[in-house]
Amino acid sequence: MTIEFASKAASYVNEEKLVQLFLEMAKINGPSSKESLVAAYLKEALPKLGFQLTFDEAHQHFNGEVGNLIAWHPGTDETIPPLFFSTHMDTVLPTEHLKPIIKEGIIYSDGTTILGADDRAALASYVEAMRAIIESGVPHGPIELVLTVNEQAGLVGAKYMDYHKIKSKNGYIFDSSGDVGQIIIQGPYSSRIWFTVKGNAAHIALNADAGNNAFVIAAEGLLSMELGEIDRETLANIGIIHGGELTSIIPGTVTLGGEVRSFSKEKLDAQLTQMQQAMERAAQKYHGTVDVSIEEKYLGFHIAGEDQLVKTVIKAAENICVAPYVTKTLGGADTNVLNEHGLTCITLGNGFQNIHSFRENISIENLVNTGRLTAALIEQWYERHKK
């Protein structure tokens, strides 16, 4: 039995089928760079829905098992601009031996593995939405699925994507903990910063006078850095410290790694400079040295509120009785990288919670609404461009 919404296609999304599909896909083991089993499942499932599949060679850059998957569906009207939906095939940890539990409308693991809702929830929803579109018989333009690998390790698959294989220019990525209805139109710039602090190693009993403790230098630098929430647009963190050989050896070298995120490129650069100068002053004060390197992770994006993607998703959400709201996030996603490479896309909430932990969960309501909103978006995109 279908539910009647303003979106006919969304009415055909079947809750029971989608939940079972999600559980089936969540159990497929596919941690970052080891997504071959997930790809094999999709190679079987997607052609049955009319998709033509191609893989790129992104995995060769990081010794992965399989590349990004691009799937093309011609739709019923090829005069409509194609629309893509993207997500990642990998999970942050294995889901092998996953035992899902459903309690009071929430899907959990049994606490011994992650659930993998990040982002098998989107993957399952896309498949069920296309089944619903076909069953409903609503006309639609071409649909493209852009399914990346090795996203959890730092958006790696998207960085090495063969963008010549993608035909669409506009799309959506369901990949956020916000409930369905969340529309993220702005994401941050992000860079890593690495410090190699050098003092002088020495034995505490044999030649301590020759020692210059690199840990002390690094500590001085850390204490004079601005870290945490710098302002409402900027975050900074030091998350890695490596160094030392033995408890009896004054350490001569220590390596630190950190990250800065900001909606403003100018603020990002200013914060990186502040951190670098803080460590350089400490090294000078204690007669040591420091080598600093900065690694760009991804660029920020900001889609205008008047963009057709935003207007389309607001209307589509209303058509399935979901309240839409526009926001921004300092979290990174494939959205950053795809926008950087000339595609226009926004991140949408699909409601998974406590990701990257054994407490991960997703409500059936959010899962089903992800499928419904996907179907409603396809339908609304057609109606917008057919006028």
Where residue 281 sits, what CATH number does that domain have? 3.30.70.360
Structural domain contains residue 168:
yes
Q: Region 291-306: what's the mean pLDDT?
A: 97
Considering the domain architecture, whether residues 114 and 54 belong to the same structural domain is answered as yes
- The residue ranges of DSSP E strands in the chain, in sequence order, are 52-55, 69-73, 83-88, 101-103, 106-108, 143-148, 170-174, 182-187, 189-198, 202-203, 228-231, 234-243, 249-250, 253-262, 289-298, 301-302, 325-328, 344-348, 361-363
Structural domain contains residue 157:
yes
Structural domain contains residue 3:
no
Predicted confidence at residue 142, as pLDDT, reads: 98
Whether the CB-CB separation of 261 and 188 falls below 8 Å is answered with yes
Considering the domain architecture, whether residues 306 and 283 belong to the same structural domain is answered as no
Considering the domain architecture, whether residues 54 and 131 belong to the same structural domain is answered as yes
- What domain range includes position 75? 8-187+300-386
- Of 283, 215, 221, 279, nearest in space to 249 by CA: 215
Considering the domain architecture, whether residues 179 and 207 belong to the same structural domain is answered as no
Show which of 298, 315, 334 is a domain's final residue: 298
334 among known catalytic residues: no
Predicted confidence at residue 2, as pLDDT, reads: 61
Structural domain contains residue 204:
yes
Considering the domain architecture, whether residues 24 and 89 belong to the same structural domain is answered as yes
Return the SS3 of 349: coil
Show which of 298, 313, 340 is a domain's final residue: 298
Predicted confidence at residue 14, as pLDDT, reads: 97
Structure tokens belonging to residue 65: 């098992």
Q: Region 160-179: what's the mean pLDDT?
A: 98
Distance from C-alpha of 180 to C-alpha of 149, rounded to nearest angstrom: 24
Predicted confidence at residue 303, as pLDDT, reads: 97
Structural domain contains residue 254:
yes
pLDDT of residue 1 exceeding 90, the answer is: no
Q: How many domains does the chain have?
A: 2
- Of 68, 41, 46, 44, nearest in space to 56 by CA: 68
Predicted confidence at residue 160, as pLDDT, reads: 98
Considering the domain architecture, whether residues 146 and 224 belong to the same structural domain is answered as no
Show which of 298, 323, 343 is a domain's final residue: 298
Considering 128, 144, 151, 334, which one is annotated as catalytic?
A: 151
* DSSP structure class, residue 366: H
Considering the domain architecture, whether residues 27 and 146 belong to the same structural domain is answered as yes
Considering the domain architecture, whether residues 31 and 157 belong to the same structural domain is answered as yes
Distance from C-alpha of 140 to C-alpha of 106, rounded to nearest angstrom: 32
Predicted confidence at residue 342, as pLDDT, reads: 96
The chain-wide mean pLDDT, for the chain, equals 97
Predicted confidence at residue 3, as pLDDT, reads: 75
Q: Region 224-246: what's the mean pLDDT?
A: 97
Considering the domain architecture, whether residues 372 and 228 belong to the same structural domain is answered as no
Instruction: Kindly indicate the confidence band of residue 194, based on its pLDDT and cuts at 50, 70 and 90.
Output: very high
Q: Give the tens place of pLDDT for each residue, 35-57.
A: 999 999 999 999 999 999 999 99
Structural domain contains residue 1:
no
Q: Region 235-252: what's the mean pLDDT?
A: 97
Instruction: Kindly indicate the confidence band of residue 4, based on its pLDDT and cuts at 50, 70 and 90.
Output: confident
Predicted confidence at residue 190, as pLDDT, reads: 97
Structural domain contains residue 2:
no
Considering the domain architecture, whether residues 140 and 205 belong to the same structural domain is answered as no
Whether the CB-CB separation of 260 and 236 falls below 8 Å is answered with yes
> Helix H segments across 92-166?
117-136, 156-159
Considering the domain architecture, whether residues 293 and 315 belong to the same structural domain is answered as no
Considering the domain architecture, whether residues 77 and 38 belong to the same structural domain is answered as yes
Structural domain contains residue 85:
yes
Considering 90, 118, 220, 334, which one is annotated as catalytic?
A: 90
